[in-house]
Structure 1
């Protein structure tokens, strides 16, 4: 499977409109730190691409991979930075007189329908609580703690023939052991880490920072780790002395599992 990062930013992206910090100013000029909201574009031989999350940067992200739309998607949760592009996608389907399939756990789909009740005629909703299949990959969602923001879902992908596995866990913090279990035995972990070292009280937080993410990755024994959902606290020009198997995700980066 080919995994392309359409975006790796947090809920506000980088630069943040209101902010004049060094990272945001750099993002406005050379653009090394420019980040769209987190989303993946998955490709498997013999299958149509699979979009993972559909934030408000959907139009620009589709243009970046030369796509004129998408035929299917997975959603992790119903926060706007993960579903804000569904309206544009549904409208694109209306103009092309087509439909597409959106897969997510039932409670996520119910929130989507409540917020955007008109999109269901073009985006067909399918509950995947019991898992689903994409090519030769079994996909399993599980609920994870999202701190003050409630909950999200993560996804584990496991190949039916080789046993290779990877997981996408963009919005989580303080996972109990039961929620860490699906992260064990991974060849690749894509983990959300919004800050390098988040200074705010734990009760106000919603996503791991990089220090905590490194500890979690070591605990579960992930073979490779890519940090995503990065805020303007993270400066790609800096050397964070990450282990060799850990990297910051970059826009347009493609990795293969």
Structure 2
């Protein structure tokens, strides 16, 4: 299987509008971070999108991706769902509703934000979604077993997802001991890290993820959902403990 980072940025993206810091003005492509999303390619070459934010169209074009077989949503914040309208060309091409897998709460938010996609009589150009409400237990789709990992994001629960020995967690500020048991013996753990020092009410910061790395001991850890406050990629990446890396847009991992 393969995972490709379509975006590794926070809700504002990097560069941030109006910001002139060294990260936002960097000419290194690794310092440009679209909103966080990944594409997982299964053993059968099927495409699983995790989250569909406002940069979805740009991400698909830039990465020469042409299909999405299903979409997993981590939670309902706009930087993770508001691009769903741009899935329309894929729906029209396939002639099938786009399958969405998520919490029931998230599904309700999708219905509220895209009511025209669920109307009894839809406008001919409207998207169409096939909502599947999932719980915190493994399920199999496209011949692939997927294990949700529940995390706390400020005051709401969100899902990360585990495939084989890779887990993708974004927008986490706390993980219970019970959920951490799912993260033992990983080859790859991908986790959000919004900045270096100042505590954040909803997201891990660098000391948090270093502690998590030392506790869970994955073979490799990659950081995503990165703001401009974390620093320049090529500098900060060299300062991380051995086995930890900053992810960047377009990066691929085989697992």
Q: Shorter-chain TM-score category?
A: 0.7 to 0.9
Q: Find the counterpart in structure 2 of residue 11 from structure 1.
A: 11
Equivalents in 2 of 1:86, 1:111: separation in Å? 12
* Structure 1 residue 95 displacement after superposition: 7.4
Task: Say whether residues 1:215 and 2:211 are aligned partners.
Answer: yes
**Where do 5+ consecutive residues of structure 1 fail to align?**
159-164
Moved more, 35-44 or 121-130: 121-130
1:65-108 deviation per Cα after TM superposition (whole angstroms, max 9, x unaligned): 22234221111001011101101113652577442211112222
Equivalents in 2 of 1:255, 1:63: separation in Å? 20
Moved more, 230-239 or 174-183: 174-183
Q: Find the counterpart in structure 1 of residue 202 from structure 2.
A: 206
Following superposition of structure 1 onto structure 2, how do residues 233-244 of structure 1 map, counting pairs within 5 Å?
A: 233-234=229-230, 235-239=232-236, 240-244=238-242
Equivalents in 2 of 1:131, 1:110: separation in Å? 21
Equivalents in 1 of 2:175, 2:221: separation in Å? 17
Aligned with 1:87: secondary structure? helix
Q: Of residues 142, 145, 150 in structure 1, which corresponds to 2:152?
A: 145
Task: Say whether residues 1:20 and 2:17 are aligned partners.
Answer: no
Equivalents in 2 of 1:209, 1:87: separation in Å? 32
Task: Say whether residues 1:155 and 2:161 are aligned partners.
Answer: yes
* Structure 1 residue 220 displacement after superposition: 1.4
Equivalents in 1 of 2:176, 2:42: separation in Å? 32
* Structure 1 residue 25 displacement after superposition: 1.4
Equivalents in 2 of 1:84, 1:174: separation in Å? 24
Q: Find the counterpart in structure 2 of residue 249 from structure 1.
A: 247
Aligned length: 244
Q: Find the counterpart in structure 1 of residue 168 from structure 2.
A: 168
1:170-213 deviation per Cα after TM superposition (whole angstroms, max 9, x unaligned): 1111323223222222111000001022x24x5xx211011210
Equivalents in 2 of 1:111, 1:194: separation in Å? 25
Give the TM-score of the pair, scaled to structure 2.
0.88
* Structure 1 residue 47 displacement after superposition: 3.9
Equivalents in 2 of 1:187, 1:31: separation in Å? 27
> Which runs of structure 1 show a deviation greater than 3 angstroms over 4 or more consecutive aligned residues?
29-32, 94-98, 134-137
Give the TM-score of the pair, scaled to structure 1.
0.87
* Structure 1 residue 137 displacement after superposition: 3.5
**Where do 5+ consecutive residues of structure 2 fail to align?**
119-126
Q: Of residues 54, 64, 67 in structure 2, which corresponds to 1:66?
A: 64
Contact 1:2 1:44 in 2 (8 A): yes
Aligned with 1:243: secondary structure? coil
Q: Find the counterpart in structure 2 of residue 125 from structure 1.
A: 131
Contact 2:46 2:142 in 1 (8 A): no
Task: Say whether residues 1:111 and 2:109 are aligned partners.
Answer: yes
Structure 2 vs 1, CA of residues 141 and 228 (structure 1 numbering), >3 Å: closer, same or farther? same
Structure 2 vs 1, CA of residues 47 and 128 (structure 1 numbering), >3 Å: closer, same or farther? farther
Equivalents in 2 of 1:232, 1:126: separation in Å? 35
